[in-house]
Structure 1
Amino acid sequence: MAERRRVLLLGSTGSIGTQTLDVIARNPERFEVVGLAAGRNRALLDEQAERFGVRAVAQGTTEAEALVRDVEADVVVNGITGAAGLGPTIAALETHAVLALANKESLIIGGPVVKPMMAPGRVVPVDSEHSAIHQCLASGARGEVRRLVVTASGGPFRGRRREELRDVTPEQALAHPTWSMGLMVTTNSATLVNKGLEVIEAHLLFDVPFDAIEVVVHPQSIVHSMVEFVDGATIAQASPPDMRLPISLALDHPHRVADAGLPIDWTTAQSWTFEPLDDDAFPAVALAKAVGAAGGTRPAVFNAANEQAVHAFHARRLAFLDIVPVIEAALATVPEPTGTVDLAAVLEADRLARAAADALIAAS
């Protein structure tokens, strides 16, 4: 019997974290939790530590980075939300562990720093879309890939015209039809900022140019993404929406964990539909593609301004339709640094973008 994989879990009290622990609890012969880190929910963190017999526990980003450096692990799961995950991602890549990456923002904003650190096989995506692409790419050689097709549920406002989004509330934005996620990711799914971020992540993970990455709306969320090859074949990964499947694949890559998720019930009649993205109602994807193509610190500015705008929206200080314009204005306000884009430049761009976004929100 193979030795159990030692798992260090960052963001243990969030949506990804709790589902990761569920996978581990159901497969104790394959996985062992050696460290846990979380943000504000200390009570749940302590409960998790007691349940899994974990002594190495951290609270806050700085402590999480130290935990990654101090605790020997085979897999580091970065389930932290937002830009706060950048430091822990870098710390994980400085170890010998596999990085199971659920914190897309750390790769997106830190691309110039993180990308050179990504040795083959060291980073396994946890996002369902990127896990799907990762699986589909096994069907052919990289030179045979024509394009990636990233699916989107369309969020709670799918089918609405732009003018119909003017008065939507935070409560409506959080009513996602398919997935159960945290406040930031759920809101980003409503604006489709999340899908824009996923396009940038796909580019960085799989080295596919932006003009060969397409977003298609698939409201059933059964087909998690597809890869089209040069001969016309399109390979899709399909399964009921359940994050435990991509989590399990990242935990034990390249092996599969039996019964990690439920399979499709082929005895039940069902229909899968695909629709083009409405760029007028949801301009975030096109903006993200332009930002990703520009590179440098532009993705960091995009992400930071969005985070501030989302918080303002939930504080009812900003309208839903003003979230993307705040991002655009911040991109126009914060200059691109001269010279090499290093970690300090990324962090400074993040700081300036948040300040610019806050000023724009206050003036709106």
Structure 2
Amino acid sequence: MLTKREIVLGVTGGIAAYKAAEVCRELIRRGAEVQVVMTPNATRFVTPLTFQALSSRPVVTDMFAPWQEPGIGHIQLADRAELVLVAPATANLIGKIASGLADDMLTTLIMATKAPVLLAPAMNVNMYENMIVRENLKKLLRRGYLLVEPAVGELACGWEGKGRLAEIEDIIEEVEHALSPKDFLGKRVMVTAGPTREPIDPVRYLTNYSSGKMGYAVARVARRRGADTVLISGPTALRPPTGVRFMPVASARDMFKAALKEAEWADIIIKASAVADYRPLKPVTSKIKKSKGQEKLTLELTENPDILFEIGRRKGERILVGFAAETSDLVKNARTKLKEKNLDLIVANDVTQPGAGFGYDTNIALIVDQEGKAHRWPQMRKVDVAEKIFDRIQSLLEKKKKQVAKKG
């Protein structure tokens, strides 16, 4: 999503300026074109040479230095930028922008740009809680500026509290969100993700290898593209995506109850979870002990409710997307599941392929529509697979809209 996007990274004079180097590096890694602009005080913490080496561009620090291109420097940068990210944003910088002051290169180009401006504050907790700073931030938010809330924790000054620069991952996610098309604005998306756990006794359970990465990527992209999003997740090691309503569950029956309830609210349902088909019929309340001479242990299993089938039965005008993790006959099995569960689309992958199975950050998938047509995608990041899924859903929505218009 950030490939070839023009981003101005503003760095101001706070101790968190050293973290801006990692922000710059991650933006570059994701394909963005980054122009760093530093305030004079920022250069006291980190040298411009650091950012020049990371961005492969000269760093702008002086309002009055000769400009290397035709035109006026701050106007050229302001016009070229697709997003201005200020990380860290000090109380001083926030106050200047809120007051309309433009006395250095960074504040001047912020005044001149039509691009979104995303602020990532970092300061002492008492400064962040100061009423003047709070009022300045509220004023900027009312005027359309974007904000990445600072994190809570130990601060460089020795205090504990809210004021740390947000995690790099969270800053980049807000950049992605700001630059994504909002073609699902007003839509409500429900996503399920992760495995379920079916208890055997208090220390053991049945589960599967699902990491939840695909479902979390789907929820993240739904939010980026403007949808009001809920993520129902089985147990995973992943952080809940920013800006998404998060509902943790454990067992298949827990997910069944939550999914059916939220499905009533949703316009679009994407079931990416790997739900256990069976559970122990009679979980025991104390640990099953190993007996001497006992070589075998038999567990009697009973079937779990079929979440996707039940939602498909009740789906009405909703769009329903399922997933199929297979080991053979990929297209055949995907088509069968699509028909049996009353799906609009199904995404299938062969989990035996390197780069496509559980736990990977990538996937090798194909998507099948209601006509049975299968389209294969090459190996790509799971977040990119999620983008393609929403592109297909958008096409379905447009098709339905045209059908309604014809009937009208």
Q: Same fold (TM over 0.5)?
A: no
Normalized per residue, the structure richer in strand is: 2
TM category (shorter chain) comes to 0.3 to 0.5
Compare relative contact order (CA 8 Å, sep 6+) and give the higher one, 1 or 2: 1
Structure whose CA Rg is larger: 2
**TM-score scaled to structure 2, two decimals?**
0.31
Normalized per residue, the structure richer in helix is: 1
